[in-house]
Structure 1
């Protein structure tokens, strides 16, 4: 009933999942900073999340942790699980999972992934997700997770249809107040949940992402920014102070930089103000 990707890139770990199942993000994903990530699905056993993350934290490789956890579960043949640790990846599909069901896991050094799904239209869903993961090498983890989910959805996804999608990812220093949450997004009930998840990810990046492509507030750019802020009701002798006031009002304070103006903040300012 679900397809997911669990992955690591550098110090970041995360999961993206979609399903014809209400609020799938409340059940499937789990991740822990510096430890790994887990997806439990197909008659999901939510206890696997803490169990497997605990085993990974204790130093067990993903394949050993998964084998040990499933061996203790009498319902394992109905389950599907993906696990990625600091240096390993593993996937499990029980023999009683509804067809089509299967998965793939790879550890590629700086990156690793486990992709799995059940009640899918066919193996092409997993194949296209894996292809999308490799095609987006070099992009941030959250973007690669989304690309894999989009590819799986386009390939057919859940054979019963669409309903929910989610993403949960962690990385040291990421997120609001550097809390370590790289992405925490859920689309609980939607006609096109994967597309909606992509929209939410863009907003998340805007609100909680770090400054990028910063330009100094000098010359013509400083004058443009000053005029736009004044038209929006934010005037100050110091353009950086006026910008901070406007950005705080718009909840863009995470993207403020002492070196100038962030590219996406500038785009938002231009889109919402006049000169």
Structure 2
């Protein structure tokens, strides 16, 4: 029912998944910072999520996690599973009774798998996208990998849902959680494209500014920003940014170009 990529980048671990299934993001992914990530699909086994993370937490390698979970499961022939840890290769498993086309590939820090696909070209396209996307930020790389599978044919039954889940120590909102991304498209005619749109919005709202691109709030720019703030009805930049959920992008004495562009758009 599903195609997914489970991967690691630096200290972050995560899963991107799409399916002709309602709310696949509620079923498939699990990840824990500094532990690992997994995807359970086909006839998904919810117990794989806590059990797999527990095994990873104790230092069990992904291939042994897969072996242990499936060996203890009488329904393993209908399961599909992908696992990555904090080091080494990922691991993937496809049960003998998963509906065609079903299969997966794994390598250093990734596992890609799918079932009821249009063909092996889906997994092949995803692996090529993952390996060729090393320059991308991790979240964008996962979604680009998912999009490559979707473009190659994806789920042979059609499209319905997609999700992105990434865990990284202290990378959540305000640095107070390890959930860096938790984006879900539960029911949509083009869910992977919609997931990419949500990711772009997430970056604006919750991303951190690039110090190299910050603009000094002096001279004509300071005058323009003051006028824009008046136009949107707020006395200070921090008050307006709080309303717009952009407070994480504020730097005293400077303005992030993304914040400036958003302010200009709102003032229009």
TM-score norm. by structure 1 comes to 0.93
- Which secondary structure does the structure 2 equivalent of 1:15 belong to? strand
User: For residue 134 of structure 1, what is the aligned residue in structure 2?
Assistant: 131
Cα displacement string for residues 202-253 of structure 1 (whole angstroms, at most 9, x for unaligned residues):
1111221112232221222212111111111123xxxxxx110110111111
CA drift of 1:130 comes to 1.0
Residues 44-86 of structure 1: CA deviation (Å, up to 9, x unaligned)? 0011011111000001111111111111111111100000000
Counterparts of 1:135 and 1:273, CA distance in 2:
40
TM-aligned CA distance change 1:155 to 1:93, over 3 Å:
same
Q: How many residues align?
A: 264
Query: How far 1:258 moved relative to its partner?
Result: 2.3
Alpha-carbon distance in structure 1 between the residues aligned to 2:242 and 2:100: 50
Kindly report which structure 2 residues correspond to 1:117-266, keeping only aligned pairs within 5 A, or say none.
117-178=114-175, 179-212=177-210, 213-235=213-235, 242-266=236-260
Contact 1:214–1:259 (Cα < 8 Å) also in 2 = no
SS at match of 2:25: helix
2:8 is the alignment partner of 1:8: yes
- Give how far 1:135 is off: 2.1
The whole-number CA distance in structure 2 between the counterparts of 1:218 and 1:15 is 43
SS of structure 2 residue aligned to 1:199: helix
Structure 2 CA distance for aligned equivalents of residues 183 and 39 of structure 1: 16
Report what 1:268 is aligned to: 262
Corresponding residue SS for 1:22: coil
Distance 2:179 2:220 in 1: 37
Partners of 1:221 and 1:57 in 2: CA distance: 50
SS of the residue corresponding to residue 115 of structure 1 reads strand
CA distance in 2: counterparts of 1:174 and 1:259, whole angstroms:
25
Question: Aligned partners of 1:153 and 1:120: how far apart in 2?
Answer: 10
SS where residue 229 of structure 2 aligns?
A: helix
CA distance in 1, matches of 2:61, 2:132: 27
Tell me the TM-score normalized by structure 2. 0.96
Structure 1 residue 201: Cα displacement: 0.9
Could you tell me how far 1:121 is from its partner in structure 2? 0.2
State the secondary structure of the residue aligned to 1:161.
coil
Q: Report the alpha carbon displacement of residue 132 of structure 1 after superposing the two structures with TM.
A: 1.1
Structure 2 CA distance, aligned partners of 1:68 and 1:118?
A: 21
Greater Cα offset, 145-154 or 179-188 = 179-188
> Residue 173 of structure 1: CA displacement?
2.5
C-alpha separation between the residues in 2 aligned to 1:129 and 1:141? 15
CA distance in 1, matches of 2:11, 2:257: 26
Q: Once structures 1 and 2 are overlaid, which stretch shifts more, 243-252 or 259-268? A: 259-268
- 1:97-144 Cα distance to aligned partner (Å, 9 max, x none): 10100101111xxxx110000000001101111111122212111100
- SS of residue paired to 2:227: helix
Q: Aligned-pair distance for 1:256?
A: 1.3
Which stretches of structure 1, 4 residues or more, deviate above 3 A after TM superposition?
A: none
Name structure 1 gaps, 5 residues minimum.
236-241
